[in-house]
Structure 1
Amino acid sequence: MDNVTTFNDILKKSFLREYMFGTLSVVDILLSLLTAFMAGAFIYGIYKYTYKGVLYSPSFNATLLVMTMITSLVIMTISTNVVLSLGMVGALSIVRFRTAIKDPLDVVFMFWAIAAGISSGAGLYFLTLFGALIIGVVIIVLSRKKHTDTVYLLVIHYTEEANEEVKRELQKLDYTLKSKIVRQNIVEMTAEVRLKIDNTAFMNSLSNVEGVRDVSLVQYNGDYAV
């Protein structure tokens, strides 16, 4: 009974003694950071080239590059010390990011940067670069896909007397009513319309209706009006 080895004994005597402290050569460190930098720079270029949102953020894009290198550094650090890796898991689990991500595609780029940092920190240099190339090509192909219709927001201000005529003009369009506000005999109508590119001749017809004060058309992507 005295010679029975428990799981705790294995961790204390064998496992920790062999794997608690590891070493990384200067060459390995430089290769990992260089690979992370190359992958991060590639992600930076792809994000800037394919960005289709309202307001491009250079600081967020630069964060992707730096995030890739920092993640690589973290992976190299925990790979040399099993105890430190357990402690870092606990420390990172309490980190909370409060910045709102408005474009779902930004989450993809953030996860891509983290994944590239993990693979480069683990010494999988070919996987990091080749995977970045494949993912970049996929994102470029998807971003260049052309849509036949473009979504716009149509805002019309008119008097109540022009209500029926405005409705008749709108029935010629593929539209969805978003809001309608009436203030002192003045109606403000907001509608979502789908149009072919540069097919805005209907605005002249609406503006010529008696009682219509102004007609505005702005591009709409679901979250923002451009």
Structure 2
Amino acid sequence: MELSLSFQDLFKQSVLHLEAFRNVSYIDVIIGVTTSFFIGMFIYYIYQYTFRGVVYSYNYNVTFVLMTMITTIVIMTISTNIVLSLGMVGALSIVRFRTAVKDPLDIVYMFWAISSGIAVGAKLYPVALIGALAVGLALVWLSRRKIKDQPFLLIIRYNESAQEEVAKRLRKTPHRLKSKTVRKGYIEMTVELRLRDDNTAFVNELAELEGVADAVLVNYSGDYAQ
């Protein structure tokens, strides 16, 4: 019974007096928001440097900076008072993120921004700074590996007279057949292959073969072409 009363007294005091706000340090708030801004800008430049999609979105990249700062402010706010913590949880529960994310790696950047904001808001500055640096270096290293060995789709349209010569040229490059369409007058074939250092001279050779109408090389990433 005494424990129950003590909890009620604590809850009432938290509601009526909000004494935690009297002990707010403006210096801590400025340091926290500033730190989250610089970490958010670090995420911004890492995303810009490692982006390998079709259309770069400036607005989407800026979201990471603002997300880091807003998360820091939220964590600082809910850590001051139990009532605000419950109210913030209730308010955030009605938020729905409806934007379709095509690249799974974009979700990693979003989670990185949120986790950095949480660490800064909790005043765990070493965790936020060292963690941001480690994740950034890992993303840069992994993006360089992707550049060295990229998947491509090669789409060739040719007539039956060039079939043997096309097959002969493709044997020189490791590939995997994705689709083959045979229509009256020509054949269209799509193969998946991996190239290093953007060596695409063989596409010109294929296009110059007699009987080949065209040859198209498309950067391929998972479920969609870029």
Range of TM-score over shorter length: 0.7 to 0.9
Aligned-residue identity in percent: 53
DSSP-derived class of the 1:220 partner: strand
1:16 counterpart = 2:26: no
**Measured at CA, do residues 225 and 140 of structure 1 come closer, stay the same or move farther in structure 2, by a change above 3 Å?**
same
1:33 CA displacement: 1.0
Query: Corresponding residue for 1:5?
Result: 2
Taking the aligned partners of 2:144 and 2:151, their CA distance within structure 1 comes to 17
Residues 117-128 of structure 1 mapped to structure 2, 5 A cutoff: 117-128=117-128
The letter for the 2-side match of 1:215 is: A
DSSP-derived class of the 1:37 partner: helix
The letter for the 1-side match of 2:143 is: S
Query: Corresponding residue for 2:33?
Result: 33
Query: Corresponding residue for 1:68?
Result: 68
Query: Corresponding residue for 1:55?
Result: 55
1:154 counterpart = 2:149: no
1:224 CA displacement: 4.7
**Measured at CA, do residues 197 and 38 of structure 1 come closer, stay the same or move farther in structure 2, by a change above 3 Å?**
closer
**Measured at CA, do residues 158 and 111 of structure 1 come closer, stay the same or move farther in structure 2, by a change above 3 Å?**
same
Question: Which segment is superposed worse, 60-69 or 186-195?
Answer: 186-195
**TM (normalized to structure 1)?**
0.83
Contact 1:74 1:121 (8 Å CA) reproduced: yes
Taking the aligned partners of 1:147 and 1:25, their CA distance within structure 2 comes to 47
Runs of 5+ consecutive residues of structure 2 not aligned to the other structure: none
The letter for the 2-side match of 1:12 is: Q
Query: Corresponding residue for 1:129?
Result: 129
1:62 CA displacement: 0.7
Query: Which has the larger helix fraction?
Result: 2
Runs of 4+ residues over 6 Å off in structure 1? none
Query: Corresponding residue for 1:214?
Result: 214
Contact 2:159 2:211 (8 Å CA) reproduced: yes
1:163 counterpart = 2:163: yes
The letter for the 1-side match of 2:99 is: T
1:96 CA displacement: 1.6
**Measured at CA, do residues 118 and 209 of structure 1 come closer, stay the same or move farther in structure 2, by a change above 3 Å?**
same
Contact 2:156 2:214 (8 Å CA) reproduced: yes
1:59 CA displacement: 1.0
Residues 194-209 of structure 1 mapped to structure 2, 5 A cutoff: 194-209=194-209
Report the aligned-residue RMSD. Answer: 2.5
Write the deviation string for residues 123-146 of structure 1: whole angstroms up to 9, x where unpaired.
223332232223223323333336
**Measured at CA, do residues 17 and 28 of structure 1 come closer, stay the same or move farther in structure 2, by a change above 3 Å?**
farther
**TM (normalized to structure 2)?**
0.83
Taking the aligned partners of 2:47 and 2:198, their CA distance within structure 1 comes to 27
